Amino acid sequence: MTRPRRTSAVARGRPAARVVVSAAGRDVPPLPRLARLVCGLGLGLQVTVADHRHDAGDPRLAHGLRWQVTAVAPDAPLDPATVPLDRSLSEAVPNCLRHLAGTLHRSLPASPDFPIRGPQQPVPPAEPLDPTRQILDLAARHPGRPVAARLGRTGCRVHVPE
């Protein structure tokens, strides 16, 4: 069994020793690839962004951008009241993937009288364009309020706060 060592103790006793730490980022699929996967499973992808960059002077408020990416049933209403909590898109996408199996399970019909939705295309659709820039532009126009976009098979619906 190895015991944890403090970083300062790693190089002790070695002249000119240096500690090199490698911090590799997560392998996160881009938003268009996630949208293609989710839509191929018969679900929709809701992306919510809140721009808090104007709140930098107030320590009581959130700062920066907040994201939330969620797979939802295609007939679920667009929920703009969801407050995004993730600090980056690369943090929100793995959270979506982590909960994808549960969302897919909940979207299945409970009654055996209704068929299970499935991909209806013999060839997978082309990867959609990346909507990140447009969603960020909308969020910048409505600082502090969540802007939601629903990506689905039929296109994109956007909710902008009034």
Is the Cβ–Cβ distance between 65 and 139 less than 8 Å? yes
Is the Cβ–Cβ distance between 65 and 53 less than 8 Å? yes
Task: State the DSSP string of 27-43.
Answer: ----HHHHHHHHHHTT-
Q: Indicate the burial class of 57 (C-beta count within 10 angstroms; 0-12, 13-18, 19 or more).
A: exposed
Q: What is the pLDDT of residue 79?
A: 74
Q: What is the pLDDT of residue 83?
A: 83
The CA-atom distances, in angstroms, between 129 and each of 7, 16, 66 are 44, 50, 22
Per-residue pLDDT of the chain (162 residues; tens, 9 = 90+): 455 556 667 667 766 656 666 666 678 899 999 998 888 888 899 999 999 887 777 777 777 899 999 999 888 888 776 788 898 999 999 999 999 999 888 888 888 888 776 666 666 666 678 889 999 999 999 988 899 999 887 888 888 877
Q: What is the pLDDT of residue 1?
A: 46
145/53 Cα distance (integer angstroms): 11
Hunting for tokens 């399970």 — which residue is that?
Answer: 105
Is the Cβ–Cβ distance between 130 and 151 less than 8 Å? no
Domain boundaries, the chain: 29-108+127-154
Q: Indicate the burial class of 69 (C-beta count within 10 angstroms; 0-12, 13-18, 19 or more).
A: buried
Q: Indicate the burial class of 90 (C-beta count within 10 angstroms; 0-12, 13-18, 19 or more).
A: middle
Assign residue 64 a region (left: φ > 0; alpha: ψ between -120 and 50; beta: otherwise). left
Partners of residue 86 on adjacent β-strands: 67
Token representation of residue 51: 């721009």
